[in-house]
Amino acid sequence: MSLAYPLSNHRRQRPAGVLTDALERLGTRMTYDRNEEIYAQDDEVQLLFQVVRGVVRTSRVTSDGRRQVGDFYYPGDLFGLEPGPLHRFGAEALADCEVLVVRRGAVRAFAGDVELDRAILAATNQEMERLQDHVVMLGRRSARERVGAFLMAVAQRQSGACNLPMGRQDMADYLGLTIETVSRMLTQLQGEAIVEFPSTRSFQIRKPMVLEELAA
């Protein structure tokens, strides 16, 4: 079950399944309900996580209540890797989900395991790439382009009809827009028959070339 990173590109792949074995031995499985917090913003970084089932979102809320979503994580993805001692973004379950939780100490004790080291390095690098792309997107692209790129990214690894695991508000907070603007752009893209929404949570790309162009 290989779902896509938002804004993923060709370079972006998840660590191989072999990793799961190592983590599985080290960690414990936890389940979270929809919107349940997995860790809070400003919590100490003590654990490493891997999505088993469902989707996880990271987000940061500013002192005056504005929210920025950092990213969405799908089955197989590692998350909770952060540069400092504190989580600068919190993590919440988007939908009910299952997560493998590993103590950092256990990971360190296991250091030297080539696969695991490599997987963590790869995940960190991915994280950084994503952030770089995110900066360019938020700094220099229009609402239409952001929404187009987002759909493109979600579709990247799904064939045919795509599922949208997150609601409009989450898309908006990821894209640095309001929910209304996201909605309008979706309607607009659908009006131009670039993309089609059979329901609010699923879509299909109708004009890949046009969308590609938009997302470029």
Partner DNA sequence: CGAGGGATTGATACGTCTCAAAGCATGTGG
Partner DNA sequence: CCACATGCTTTGAGACGTATCAATCCCTCG
User: Interface with a second copy includes 131 (CB under 8 A)?
Assistant: yes
Nearest CA-CA partner of 37 in 101, 89, 103, 91: 91
Helix (H) / strand (E) element for 204: namely strand 202-205
Considering only residues 60, 103, 104, 206, which one is a binding residue for a second copy as defined by CB under 8 A? Answer: 60
Considering only residues 16, 18, 40, 136, which one is a binding residue for a second copy as defined by CB under 8 A? Answer: 136
Binding to a second copy in span 101-130, by CB under 8 A: 124-129
Total number of residues that touch DNA (CB under 7 A): 21
What is d(CA 203, CA 200) in angstroms, rounded to the nearest whole number?
Answer: 8
**Helices 208-215 and 143-155, axial angle in degrees (round to 10):** 120
CB atoms within 10 A of CB 108: 9
Pick the piece of the chain touching DNA (CB under 7 A) from 47-55, 69-77, 96-104, 167-175: 167-175
User: Interface with DNA includes 204 (CB under 7 A)?
Assistant: no
Quote the least distance from Cβ 177 to a second copy, whole Å: 9
User: Interface with DNA includes 144 (CB under 7 A)?
Assistant: yes
